[in-house]
């Protein structure tokens, strides 16, 4: 499912994610901070999520119609 807006998420394992949709072809940029010991990764701050959304919007403008040519990548599950 494609998110409607950029946002921060926390996974069940404590990993932190920020997602930003391109708004075309169902593409979403996902960045993560891994939850590893001994340091705990910080959650994404709202300004970081906003900056990520700005980068995605700028990329979408530059790529234009080429985004529609991108096929859906295979979905993989990390365990």
What per-residue confidence (pLDDT) applies to 67? 80
What per-residue confidence (pLDDT) applies to 78? 67
Positions of the chain with pLDDT lower than 70, given as ranges = 1, 71-75, 78-79
**Which of the 8 DSSP states describes residue 68?**
G
At 28, list the tokens.
């979403």
What per-residue confidence (pLDDT) applies to 71? 67
Question: pTM of the entire structure?
Answer: 0.75
What per-residue confidence (pLDDT) applies to 19? 95
């Amino acid at each position: 499912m494609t998110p409607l807006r950029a946002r921060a998420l926390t996974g069940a394992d404590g990993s932190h994610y920020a997602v930003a949709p391109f708004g075309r072809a169902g593409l979403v940029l996902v960045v993560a901070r891994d939850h590893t010991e001994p340091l705990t990764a910080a959650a994404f701050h709202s300004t970081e999520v906003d900056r990520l959304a700005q980068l995605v919007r700028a990329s979408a403008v530059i790529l234009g119609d080429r985004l529609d040519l991108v096929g859906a990548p295979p979905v993989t599950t990390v365990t």
